[in-house]
Amino acid sequence: MEYELPREGPTQTGIAYPKYYIWVKCFKGQKVASEGAVRLAAIEQKGFEITDFVSCEQIRASQSVVLIFPPDVAEKVLGKVRQ
């Protein structure tokens, strides 16, 4: 697995859990098995929960990431699938 952070810090609105955004690549051997954008919620400093995963295919089919991710993160995610 490889990952990168399109944004360094979390986003937090009100009393909601802080959200982190990650671009992930999962490998099976040397081939990419899955790739996409993940939104994680930091739960009470005990762990993380995946709230959303949007694959490259889903992003290409429907640019719904603009509804899930903050504008700056969505822009970077869209840039990843255009490469």
Q: 35-45, pLDDT tens digit by residue?
A: 999 999 999 98
Paired tokens of 54 = 């949007």
* pTM reported for the whole predicted model: 0.85
Mean pLDDT of all residues in the chain?
A: 91
Query: 7 with 70: CB under 8 angstroms?
Result: yes
Average pLDDT over residues 22-42: 95
Q: How far apart are CA 78 and CA 61, in angstroms?
A: 12
Residues 59 and 37 sit within 8 Å (Cβ to Cβ): yes
Q: Check if the beta carbon of residue 77 is closer than 8 Å to that of residue 67.
A: no
pLDDT tens for 37-70 read 999 999 998 999 999 999 999 998 887 788 899 9
Q: Is the dihedral of CA 75, 77, 80, 81 positive or negative?
A: negative
Greater confidence, 63 or 31? Answer: 31
